[in-house]
Structure 1
Amino acid sequence: NLTQKEKVTIELIESESSKKSKSMNEKKLQIVDQDKKPLNNEVDENAELLSQHNQRVKQQTRAAHIGKFKNSNGANGSESQAQMQPQKKPQPQSRPQLTGLQHFAPKLDFDKLSLDQMNSQNQAAQNARPSKSGDLSSTDDHLKNIPIGMETILSTKEFLYYSYFNRIKDKIRKRWGSKVRQKVEKMVRSGRHLASTQDRVTKIIITLNSSGVLERVQVLHQSGLRDLDDAAIEAFKEAAPFPNPPKGLKDKDGKVRINWDFILEASRWFNNSTKFASIEG
């Protein structure tokens, strides 16, 4: 609805607010994808990740391939991991505090860019794509400090509102990745040098009304490249609305406020896949 989108307020938060937000974010947890069927229903009190289920594993790993979450080994991989972890009786589940959350945020990797490099990278990805029977495990969550393995196996705590945030993530994924690629290609064509040794992070907070209609987008932290910040804002505006927000996410005024980090990693070549890292709420 174009009329609705024209009413969205875009705001850049002052530096003092950004510092305050950064301090708050340090205590927040991250929401990630995992297999629909958990390995177990054990609660790891030290887990720093939230997801659809409680799950406790001895060794956390993440898939090397970037893409929508998928574990290729399926049940076999799950069984081997479950055997590593001693079985315990399920423990009572505690509801995560909303003031301590760090959820999803799209992440796209890039380094020294040129049109030739982007085209050759995308062509190589197409050529290397395995058959359906040999699909690679993949994840688009930001799990930078977790070692790479055959699958994404994580210790997580159950998050009551996982399904709502996952719906938002699905709507954001393609839009953000597509917009970043368009803007990067435009910058490269104009002769701008995009080499970087550090991640580009755009932190925003969105405000939804009680029906899930987007009302405001506030930029808490800029990435250093205005085009990337614009891509994050535009992705949310196009993906909205996000209907049926849970009552438990609503503030006293009936609004829903969600912090979302868009992270463009500098650790790999720009490619045709998007990743998600963290939103804080």
Structure 2
Amino acid sequence: MKILTKDGQKISYSLVFSLILHVGFFAFAVKKIAPPDSFSIPQQVAFTEKKNSIKLDSIKFISLKQLQAIKDARNRQVVANETSGKNERPANSRFLGEKDQTFDRQTMAARNGAFKEAGLGKKSGSESTLAQTEPKSRPRPKKMAESRPKALKKALSLSDLGGFKMAEVEKMQNQAQETLQEMKKKMDEEARAGALGVDKGQLGKNGLAQNSDFVEDVPLGDMTNLNTTEFKYYGFYHRIRQKLEQHWGTSIKDKAKNLYRSGRRMPASENLITSVSVTLNDKGQIVDMQIEGTSGVRELDQAAIESFNKAGPFPNPPKGLLVGGRATIQWGFVVKS
């Protein structure tokens, strides 16, 4: 798709939409630090609580090396993960997750998007196959008396047959029911084999895995298999993540369009990272927001701020994260151009 700028120059929108497929974010578990006596706003950041706005002037740039330093300083990265690993605590892992688990080989889902576990099936399968073959509610098995042929019900009665003969008839009927159930099970398995997924995917799920976490130094694969240590507050971070995912991609798309309309371009082949520190009160409302590192592109930094503002308020922070009635979380937003 092409559009015309004011001077008539054609600009490709392909990169704009490809950004949506290569955006992600990351969260860190941070050590609790006692707040100062007063919450002052740094000089380089102008903050208005009413609008949760930040002036993006004179904010320091952040490099991948600095990002790694932030990760090390703030413990480890909180990630969304498959739950099919071995229930063993990893000896040394930089990832925090829902539970302790290890995998023989760590991989990161190649598809970018809101976190999703891989379903059982094959990559060439159909995403609608499983849904079509599994009814919302299975038919209720008929009672034994209801399932007998009418002729049999009329011909047989307790007065006509002894207890032994009646037991034989019921046995035959039960065997017939078991045969039907086995046939249905086999048909379901064949349907799943044609569903979209991977051979090691989750039974009862459909589709390919995807993830929006920004994880480095882990090879891409069909699933998100990361060695994780159980994080006590994973549920809180996960709920924030789910709310952010509803707005982050849309905000990036809108900002990217504005960027190209103004005749500017994204820096090529770079990870553009915006690191944000957000302070919540005990009700999950944003009371302070600071940019700790800028991507260098004003529109992307604005998208990160807008995503948090639109996603809030958030769930009440756990008491263990509160210091002086407030909890501070670190979050990163990444765009791969």
1:138-167 deviation per Cα after TM superposition (whole angstroms, max 9, x unaligned): 121112321122211111000010111111
| Residue number in structure 2 paired with 1:254 | 325
State the match for 2:85 in structure 1: 39
Gaps of 5+ in 2: 1-47, 129-194, 197-206
> 8 Å contact 1:60–1:154 — kept in the other structure?
yes
Residue 21 of structure 1: how far off its partner (Å): 9.0
Matches within 5 A, 1:12-51: 15=60, 23-27=69-73, 28-35=75-82, 37-51=83-97
Matched to 1:141, the amino acid is D
* Unmatched 5+ stretches in structure 1: 78-127, 267-281
Structure 1 residues 130 and 236: alpha-carbon distance in aligned structure 2, compared to 1, 3 A threshold: farther
Task: Specify the alignment match of 1:131 in structure 2.
Answer: 127
- Find the counterpart in structure 2 of residue 62 from structure 1: 108
2:246 corresponds to which residue? 174
- The structure having more radius of gyration, on CA atoms, is 2
User: C-alpha displacement at 1:131, in angstroms?
Assistant: 2.3
Q: Which residue pairs with 1:228 in the alignment? A: 300
2:335 is aligned with 1:264: yes
TM norm structure 1: 0.66
1:238 aligned to which of 287, 299, 310:
310
**Residue 286 of structure 2, aligned match among 211, 214, 220:** 214
Report Cα offsets for 1:190-211 as digits up to 9, x if no partner: 2212242211111110011111
* Post-superposition CA distance 1:4-23 (Å, at most 9, x none): 9725363668659x999974
Per-residue Cα deviation, 1:196-232 (whole angstroms, up to 9, x for no partner): 2211111110011111111111011111111110111
Give % identity: 33
Misfit runs of 4+, over 6 Å: 11-14, 18-22
How far did 1:38 drift? 4.0
In the alignment, the residues of structure 2 paired with residue 211 and residue 196 of structure 1 have an alpha-carbon distance, to the nearest angstrom, of 41
Structure 1 211/153 Cα, relative in aligned 2: closer, same or farther at 3 Å?
A: same
Rate the CA distance shift 1:194–1:7 in 2: closer, same or farther, 3 A.
closer
Preserved contact between residue 11 and residue 219 of structure 1 (Cα < 8 Å): no
3-state SS in 2 of match to 1:202: strand
TM (normalized to structure 2)? 0.56
Number of aligned residue pairs: give it.
210
> CA separation of 1:206/1:130 partners in 2, compared to 1, >3 Å: closer, same or farther?
farther
Q: CA deviation at 1:171?
A: 0.6
8 Å CA contact 1:203–1:261 kept in 2: the answer is yes
CA RMSD of aligned residues (A): 3.1
Q: Where does residue 197 of structure 1 map in the other structure?
A: 269
Aligned: 1:71 with 2:104: no
Matched residue SS, 2:275: strand
CA contact (8 A) 1:202 1:228 kept: yes
For residues 62 and 21 of structure 1, do their structure 2 counterparts lie closer, same or farther at Cα, with a shift above 3 Å needed? closer
The worse-fitting range, judged by mean Cα deviation, of 175-184 and 191-200 is 191-200
Separation in structure 2 between the aligned mates of residue 167 and residue 246 of structure 1, nearest angstrom: 12
